[in-house]
Structure 1
Amino acid sequence: MPARIPSWAWVSGLTASAVVAVAVLAVQADQGPHPAAAAAHARTSAPASAHPSAAPKHSAPPALPSASGTGRRIVYALGAKRVWLVDESDKPTRTFPVWPGTVSPDPGTYKVSLRKDSVIGSDGVRIEHILYFAAKSGLSVAFSNAVDGASPPPAAPGKQTSGIRMAKQDGAALWTFGSAATKVVVVK
């Protein structure tokens, strides 16, 4: 009759094998690409570090686009996917990234036409701090944030969405800043 291996030996061997497998996977993961997270909630967005041990880099916020008007206004740059809140002295007081829908407003000057506290968005997500300012392709274009603070899910193929979402704290700041008739300047 062959010698029987004690159960503690099996458990020790399996544990050692599992530790080695996890170590190999960790080394492989560390050598692969690292995603960069957007600092959507920051007053000024610093580039996110690709490696947690790297020191954060502090950079100046993106400059207010030229030809974005004068006076108190909300500036939305389509290409940069970014909003600036600009005071009466033409000084940006806050800037933040946004997640645009599939339908964007044309460049031009608009005014906040309607404010709504909370509704269900066309993607089925409860949104708040809604500031409507334009229309295009039969859709109302508005700034908003998800009540739960999440970024919007990708639009279903062929579905048109016109909401411009932002992080929850940026939505609250925009809501406070953007009263009815506040000027909105959309630039490329």
Structure 2
Amino acid sequence: MADASVSGPRVRTVPAGDTRVRLTCPECGFVAYENPKVVVGSVAVHDERVLLCRRAIMPRAGCWTLPAGFLELGETAEEGALREAMEEAGARLVLEGILGVYSIAHIGQVQVIFRARLLNPLSIGPTEESSEVGLFGWEEIPWDYIAFPSVRWALGHWRESAGAASWPARGTPRPA
């Protein structure tokens, strides 16, 4: 006999009309869908130099990344990217369009990265999330200390689109 004090989604099964195993509630039929998290960020540039942040938090503390983070409920992808740049680097940006959309299935993320222009380079600085921030020319980027593969992808796609008035949004690179 089932314990009446236990309720809610707790049984893994394939719901009727579905094709995947989901966490369900046997009493009411509720299905708890698990969906990817959306990360938003930007490749922000001033005078052909890219804004990077040295992470002060895990994962990959001490490594360099783009200003990016999880999209919050109630904000657009653009609003989230602008907020993350401010939170991680004190940076005010003008977004120029989507640079890339990267699907990282093994960690359940979809990353929307914008191409952006940094408005005031004198305003950037460390924050609670970034121990250091800086502007890097292409040859100065600390490639050996880049935090995540998607940062490399976005930087490469930015380099490919540099100087272009328009560009197609890139996607997750396929393994070679």
More strand by share: 2
Using structure 1 for the length normalisation, give the TM-score: 0.22
Which of these two proteins has the greater Rg computed from alpha carbons? 1
